[in-house]
Homo-oligomer: A and B are copies of this chain.
Amino acid sequence: MKYEEAKIKFISTWGSLGSLWGINKAMAQIQALLFISTKPLSMEEIMKELQISRGNTSMNLRQLIDWGIVTKEIIPGERREYFQTEKDVQELARVIAKERSRREIQPVIKILKDVSSIEDDGTEKTNELIKQTKALHELTETADAMINKMVNHKQNWVTKSILKLIK
């Protein structure tokens, strides 16, 4: 496998993995392209590389900026804007985990809490609903907290300690 093939493979794999971290294909591909680029890229360059339209590129770049994983780079003397992504994987993981938690997990936790707090009328079905949603609420809250804590430590001594602990 040579450079070009590897590059295409990486970008398309990372694109289809987008669903796993909650973003769409084009957004993930743009991030992937910037991630392996040796320099910031312009919108024109991104469009050309990924074969996507101007509108699509513009919207998805804006979303990536909104997520906080892509930044605009102003190159002196240049009219057009250039873009670059966070290059450190640990920091990338931190931002993604935090955003996903905020956008998707927190709202669910809130609803689980509400649902599990309904008045117990003593019937079997109400009992079951309360019991099960309460268990789900606790699990979700714990898992969310753990992932965030984990990923928030830049140095990985914690990771190492945890790995040692659970091996």
Contacts and interface: CB of A to CB of B under 8 A. Distances in A.
Interface string A123-163: 11110110011011011001101100110010000110111
B165 A132 contact: no
A66 B53 CA distance: 39
Interface in A77-131: 87, 89-90, 93, 104-105, 108, 111-112, 114-115, 118-119, 121, 123-126, 128-129
Given A6-B129, A7-B129, A129-B10, A1 B115 contact: yes
A128 to B, nearest CB: 5
13 contacts: A1-B115, A1-B118, A9-B114, A13-B115, A17-B108, A20-B105, A35-B136, A36-B128, A37-B128, A38-B124, A38-B125, A93-B139, A149-B163
Interface of A: 1-3, 6-7, 9-10, 13, 17, 19-20, 22, 35-38, 87, 89-90, 93, 104-105, 108, 111-112, 114-115, 118-119, 121, 123-126, 128-129, 132-133, 135-136, 138-139, 142-143, 145-146, 149-150, 153, 158-159, 161-163, 165-167
| Closest 10 pairs (CB-CB, A-B) | A149-B166, A89-B135, A89-B139, A6-B115, A6-B118, A13-B111, A36-B129, A10-B115, A1-B118, A38-B128
